[in-house]
């Protein structure tokens, strides 16, 4: 594999040639990014949704009351969290392969610690399955928010499954996941309280406690490894 050739300032004498080359190539059509913006704006104004939630579609059609719509929104967010926790389990599965292959280096997590977080993410996924079922929803539905969350987190999974990435780089990506995890559970607890599901909010608070530990651990392992120049 060759060295990194990016960074124009490493070879300033070639910069002029590069700029001339780019200018000579020119765009294949008139107009610039504003044309793409206008095109996108047209699609936005048509108002196509990412997807629909069975309950929410029904609620809108029937001009349902606030409570029904509130429940549909809650199910949408539960489905989002469920999708994220399922992905979280897979993230730590991938991280485990990385750590097992590279071997424990003394700085960062032990294999047992990674396994423990993986198992907790899986338990959170099962908890959400239960919660959705108890509320009369279908946990196998991929709601619009679940779809968006899956797209938003694609990059994290790519970092974890890239054979070239280091444990430190994976921890940096996991930090993004854990920050989202924490904020996600905090919001679900608030919504559960607002809708009067104090039983659920209690179980979600247990999950949040786990997530706070995940975040703290990932932050500590990451900063220890950066300090150790790993």
Shortest Cβ 200–Fe ion spacing (Å): 16
Shortest Cβ 129–Fe ion spacing (Å): 14
DSSP secondary structure string for all residues of 22-35? HHHH--SSS--HHH
Q: Which of 214, 217, 222, 225 binds Fe ion (CB under 5 A)?
A: 214
Shortest Cβ 212–Fe ion spacing (Å): 9
Q: At what angle do helices 198-227 and 167-194 cross, to 10 degrees?
A: 160
* Residue 88 within binding range of Fe ion, rule CB under 5 A: yes
Shortest Cβ 85–Fe ion spacing (Å): 5
Which of these segments, 16-24, 148-156, 176-184, 190-198, binds Fe ion (CB under 5 A)?
Answer: 176-184
Question: Which residues inside 118-147 make contact with Fe ion, applying CB under 5 A?
Answer: 121, 124
Smaller CB distance to Fe ion: residue 60 or 115?
115
Smaller CB distance to Fe ion: residue 143 or 153?
153
Which of these segments, 7-15, 45-53, 95-103, 179-187, binds Fe ion (CB under 5 A)?
Answer: 179-187
Residue 87 near residue 166 (C-beta atoms within 8 A): no
Q: Which of 98, 171, 181, 218 binds Fe ion (CB under 5 A)?
A: 181
Among 84, 94, 226, 220, which Cα is nearest to 159's?
Answer: 94
Shortest Cβ 119–Fe ion spacing (Å): 11
Which of these segments, 3-11, 89-97, 147-155, 204-212, binds Fe ion (CB under 5 A)?
Answer: 204-212
Question: In 3-state terms, what secondary structure has residue 139?
Answer: coil
The binding site for Fe ion (CB under 5 A) comprises 85, 88, 121, 124, 178, 181, 211, 214
């Amino acid at each position: 594999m060759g060295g990194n050739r990016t960074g124009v300032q490493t070879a300033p004498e070639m910069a002029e040639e590069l700029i001339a080359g780019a200018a000579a190539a020119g765009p294949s059509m008139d107009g610039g990014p504003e044309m793409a913006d206008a095109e996108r704006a047209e699609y936005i104004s048509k108002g196509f949704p990412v997807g629909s939630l069975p309950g929410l579609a029904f609620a809108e059609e029937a001009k349902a009351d606030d409570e029904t719509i509130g429940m549909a929104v809650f199910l949408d967010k539960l489905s989002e969290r469920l999708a994220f926790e399922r992905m979280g389990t897979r993230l730590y599965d991938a991280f485990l392969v990385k750590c097992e292959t590279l071997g424990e280096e003394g700085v960062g997590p032990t294999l047992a610690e990674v396994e423990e977080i993986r198992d907790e993410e899986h338990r959170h996924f099962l908890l959400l399955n239960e919660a959705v079922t108890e509320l009369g929803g279908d946990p196998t539905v991929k709601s619009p928010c679940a779809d968006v969350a899956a797209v938003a987190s694609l990059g994290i999974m790519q970092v974890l499954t890239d054979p070239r990435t280091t444990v430190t780089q994976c921890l940096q990506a996991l930090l993004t996941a854990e920050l989202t995890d924490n904020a996600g559970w905090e919001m679900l607890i608030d919504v559960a309280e607002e809708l009067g599901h104090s039983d659920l909010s209690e179980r979600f608070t247990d999950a949040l406690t786990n997530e706070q530990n995940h975040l703290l651990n990932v932050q500590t392992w990451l900063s220890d490894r950066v300090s150790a120049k790993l």
